Chains A and B, each alone.
Chain A
Amino acid sequence: MNDVEPLRLAQVSAGYGQRMVLDGLDMGLRQGTITAIVGPNGSGKSTVIRAMARLLPTRSGVVLLDGRDIRSFGSRGIARLVSVLPQSPSSPPGLTVRELVELGRFPHTGLFGRVGVEGARAVESALTLTGLSDFAERPLDELSGGERQRAWIALALAQGAGTLLLDEPTTFLDVRHQFEVLDLIASLCASRGMTVVMVLHDLVHAANYAGRVVVMDSGRIVADGAPSTVLTAELMRTVFGVAAKIFTNPESGRSICLPIGTGRS
């Protein structure tokens, strides 16, 4: 049972209207790992996330969720197994952290049901894990960007899904809050065995936090593997069009990819 991949894209093509974004993509996830998807703007990173949770229907190919065709699931059935944190989520003004996190139980209750005992426990533990217990009754719009992002992660946790897909979770955060959010994600992966996929722009974060980096360009995977083998100066030049130097982080022993310019000057 444990050998079944929580998610697999097999020969998936998908797009919007006339425009195809993904072109025959193959990608599987191993249980309990962190995968970072990187690539230039418009390379199809967010589309991969959307296809993985059936937020976008595939044109061809198949998405397997726990080994089963994702099309055989109901919408709430998918939401019980996969939670998604979109790029710029929004909540109505005045909604408190707890009220937001309780919405994570929506896939588990009937359309009109209550949160229930088990749900209340899941909400409490999501608030604790994200360090938001003290903020639970505060409106979301009064929190800092980092706290707000943690609240959205708490919503995803309350969902109780084993797989967490995050679309640029650190984009609007200052550097300290970026680390806080990524540390939180890493600890969830370690403590709860969650499978995490995150779209990242920051290659240093990708190298630091992900066990596996998937590099995308024009809807295809151009490199896939451990950060140190994938993030090379050659790849930076061909995919991102920048010159880069690769260092080794003396603290962690992981490689650091430092872009130094477009290489034209």
Chain B
Amino acid sequence: MTSARSFAALTLLAGVAAAALFILHLGLGTVWIPPDRVILALADRSTDPTDLSIVRELRLPRAILGLLVGCMLGLSGALLQVVMRNRLAEPGLTGVSTGGILAAVLFLAGTWGLPPPGRFLPFVVLLGALAGGILVLFASSTRGRIDPLRLVLTAVIVNAIFGSLTSIVMLRSQQALGSILSWLIGSLNGRVWDDVWLALPWAAVGIPAGLLAARPANVLQLDDESGRALGLPLQPARIALFGLAAVLAAGAVSVAGAIAFVGLMAPNAARAIVGADARRVLPLSALIGCVLLLAADLVAQSLSIKPPIPSSSYRVGLPVGAVLAVFGAPLLIILIRRSIR
């Protein structure tokens, strides 16, 4: 079984890449901290209190979120691609992310002045994500089949509608604007430990469950008749996998906003490398998602480093979503061209 061995090697490679990016990510910022000192600080062995506080308090939450969000988005995209039998499916292109954001903004605007929503937020996002995803799913399918071109067109329209509704809600409750805006654009800037604790349960449930779904996912990749002949109830399986994808996306959107293209790039890269078997595609998509998000956030951060002037705020920076769009959009164009050939 050479393929099993090479898959193990690939997984290891992606894991090492993610770990290296993680260390690099912790080192990068207004003050550069070299990897050896980052590792010392992480292990709590550093004698430099500045290193300790920068790495462990300021930068670690953002890097951990990069890992979690990348993993969740990569896996969510891979599951959506199985459910919709479409290589273009991903949370950002299926109304899942924007639906989640609209629901969150409605919730935040409605409860402004009340105790902070905190842990409820991801559940609200999940409801919106499910609603958005189902809307796009129904609007883009004809007789159970989802046409790739129609999916993209529907998603563009639905995303535009959700986007403008989000803007309207935000304009009408102006005091909420600032705090929502920092989160809306798909960014990891200024994330703190509270954000990690918010996303962690969703990752802890969604990621293992998503990976366990590989066998039913494989059967779903066949034609309907073959899948049913193997004894899989198709509709319940599709609904379960779609729900899992929405849970993963909701966890990611709740802390990082709408980050598009990770869920598109990661599964497509994984499929190009290991073929179609979901037992390999799902874990590799999750890992590639981590690598992509950390790498893109490194770029975003290094492009927005400013000289340490007392008045400048570390919250101002290039959003990681913008960096990803630069790489992701061309891939989307290539995939569309291929799928409507």
Contacts and interface: CB of A to CB of B under 8 A. Distances in A.
Interface of A: 53, 55, 74-80, 83-84, 86-96, 99, 103-104, 106-107, 109, 111-113, 137, 139, 159
Interface in B186-245: 212-213, 215-216, 218-219, 221-223, 225-226, 228-233
A78 B212 CA distance: 24
B271 interface: yes
Contact of B233 (A75, A77, A88, A96): A75
B228 A92 contact: no
16 contacts: A55-B225, A74-B231, A75-B228, A76-B230, A76-B231, A84-B225, A84-B226, A86-B229, A88-B223, A90-B226, A94-B271, A94-B275, A95-B221, A104-B230, A107-B230, A137-B3
Contact of A111 (B85, B216, B225): B216
Contacts of A87: 225
B180 interface: no
B331 interface: no
A83 B231 contact: no
A106 B233 CA distance: 12
A103 B275 CA distance: 15
Given A103-B219, A137-B3, A75 B231 contact: yes
Contacts of B223: 86, 88-90
B127 interface: no
B276 interface: yes
Contacts of A80: 231
Bin the interface of chain B by size: 20 to 34
B275 A79 contact: no
B36 interface: no
A86 B222 CA distance: 11
Given A86-B223, A112-B215, A139-B275, A77 B231 contact: yes
A73 B303 CA distance: 62
A75 B230 CA distance: 8
Contacts of B277: 95-96, 99
Contacts of A93: 276
A87 B222 CA distance: 13
A79 B229 contact: yes
A112 B212 contact: yes
A109 B222 CA distance: 18
B280 to A, nearest CB: 9
Contacts of B3: 96, 137
A78 B231 contact: yes
Contacts of A96: 3, 275, 277
Contacts of A103: 218-219, 222, 230
